[in-house]
Amino acid sequence: MAILDRFRLSGRVAVVTGGAGPLLGSSITAALAEAGATVVTASRSLERNQQFAEALQARGHDAHAMQVDIASVRSIDQLHRQVLQRFGRIDVLVNNAVARSGHAGGFLDQTPDRLAAVAAGDFQGLFRICQRFIADMAQQRRGSIINIASIYGVVANDPTIYSGTGMVQPPSYNFVKAGMINFTRYLATYYGRHGVRANCISPGGYREDQPRAFVERYESRVPLGRMLGHDDIQGAVVFLASDASSYVTGLNLFVDGGWTCL
């Protein structure tokens, strides 16, 4: 097959959690749709996902909206049933949603309630959604799981870039992202012989409305000299979702402008 054709996702069904999110989620879903996949974007707000799916449909893509709360096993099971009933298969699962509400406060402020939210979404929820969909992928003997981790699953935060900005970095985030990366390697080794590949993407910091002092410090440290932009993750997602990466599994692909080189 011609090399560019190996990146095409026509006939594949892809599910993205948090797939209508304004930062990485919508970029990931749009990339998969543009590469030809039938995409399902799912998060707690059905309305937001419907609006985004309609916007993709208006651009000629095959996009659908569903609801899921990754902190609820019942909700994940329901999403799984709906996807299988509607499409009869699953080829790509992108675990993009993160239990944001739990990741708040510094170490001494991480209350049991916040940690429970993290445990339900980023631990139990991640396990459950992978358990459900990997069984179908193994039966099909084809599938690609992409877990969206972070540079902070590999390296620690540099407190000096946050100093005086009011930005607080909770250690629970580092904890779950590091776990996600090695959990992904487990999936890769146990399911490779079933035709399922599992990889992570670890993005660097996305440029949004952070305080100027933080942005300046971040950008002066990162080798490519700028924070992550909206489209920067798209090539990595399509690569890992498609046959272009047919011999790639267990990888943690950094999309971080070189942050982790230092």
Ligand X SMILES: NC(=O)c1ccc[n+]([C@@H]2O[C@H](COP(=O)([O-])OP(=O)(O)OC[C@H]3O[C@@H](n4cnc5c(N)ncnc54)[C@H](OP(=O)(O)O)[C@@H]3O)[C@@H](O)[C@H]2O)c1
Is 32 a residue that touches ligand X (CB under 6 A)? Answer: no
Compute how many residues bind ligand X; rule: CB under 6 A. 27
Residue nearest to ligand X (CB): 21
Is 48 a residue that touches ligand X (CB under 6 A)? Answer: yes
Contacting residue, 18, 36, 102, 170, with ligand X by CB under 6 A: 18
Contacting residue, 206, 213, 248, 250, with ligand X by CB under 6 A: 206
Is 17 a residue that touches ligand X (CB under 6 A)? Answer: yes
Beta bridge partners of 41: 16, 65
Is 161 a residue that touches ligand X (CB under 6 A)? Answer: no
Is 205 a residue that touches ligand X (CB under 6 A)? Answer: yes
Contacting residue, 13, 35, 37, 71, with ligand X by CB under 6 A: 71
How is the chain classified by DSSP, letter by letter?
--GGGGG--TT-EEEEETTT-TTHHHHHHHHHHHTT-EEEEEES-HHHHHHHHHHHHHTT--EEEEE--TT-HHHHHHHHHHHHHHHS---EEEE----GGGS-S-GGG--HHHHHHHIIIIIIIHHHHHHHHHHHHHHHT-EEEEEE--GGGTS---HHHHTTTT----HHHHHHHHHHHHHHHHHHHHHGGGTEEEEEEEE--B-SS--HHHHHHHHHHSTTSSPBPTTTTHHHHHHHHSGGGTT--S-EEEESTTGGG-
Choice between 84 and 155, CB closer to ligand X: 155
Query: Pick the catalytic residue: 173, 190, 206, 247?
Result: 173
Choice between 89 and 100, CB closer to ligand X: 100
173 is catalytic: yes
Is 69 a residue that touches ligand X (CB under 6 A)? Answer: yes
Look at the block and give the residue holding tokens 């445990």: 119
Contacting residue, 44, 185, 221, 230, with ligand X by CB under 6 A: 44
Beta bridge partners of 202: 254
Contacting residue, 41, 96, 144, 242, with ligand X by CB under 6 A: 96
Is 203 a residue that touches ligand X (CB under 6 A)? Answer: yes
Residues with catalytic function: 173
The residues of the shown chain that bind ligand X, judged by CB under 6 A, are 17-18, 20-25, 43-45, 48, 68-71, 96-100, 121, 148, 150, 203, 205-206
